[in-house]
Amino acid sequence: MGVFTFVLRNSGGDWFAKQHSGGIEASADSTFALQRKLIQAALAVDSSGGVQSSYSPVSPTSAVFQVIVGGAAVVARVGGAAAAGGAAPAEAAPAAEKKKEEKVEESDEEDYGGLSLFDDE
């Protein structure tokens, strides 16, 4: 798994990126085009699996962009059966959904010490 973190800056209408700890650099006329270039550059270094990316603007002229290549698959257990790729039994899904609905209903009934938005006082 490879994690690539980039600092992006806008100067004169063009966007420039430099890897936080590494030698990858790129530039483009938009953040979208720059992100595509950075993903391709990261895949040229590490092509071990799927790609995830995260773009976080810091200011109008700067941002942080992270590319994660590879990583482990996540397997969740529902009702004691592995739920990877839809392998869980059909009856396990409605039970989990019903529990989720019950939790939502409970959270709707919060106590505000007798205060209500609809009280006249």
List the domain boundaries for the chain.
2-69, 77-106
Q: What is the pLDDT of residues 35-64, one digit of tens each?
A: 999 999 999 999 888 999 999 999 999 999
Query: So what's the architecture of 2-69 in CATH?
Result: 2-Layer Sandwich (3.30)
Q: For the whole model, what pTM was predicted?
A: 0.58
pLDDT top residue among 82 and 35: 35
Residues 94 and 91: their CA atoms lie apart, in Å, by 6
Percent with pLDDT over 90 in the chain: 51
Q: What six digits make up the tokens of 50?
A: 């799927």
Amino acid letter, 51: V
Specify the amino acid at residue 43. Answer: L
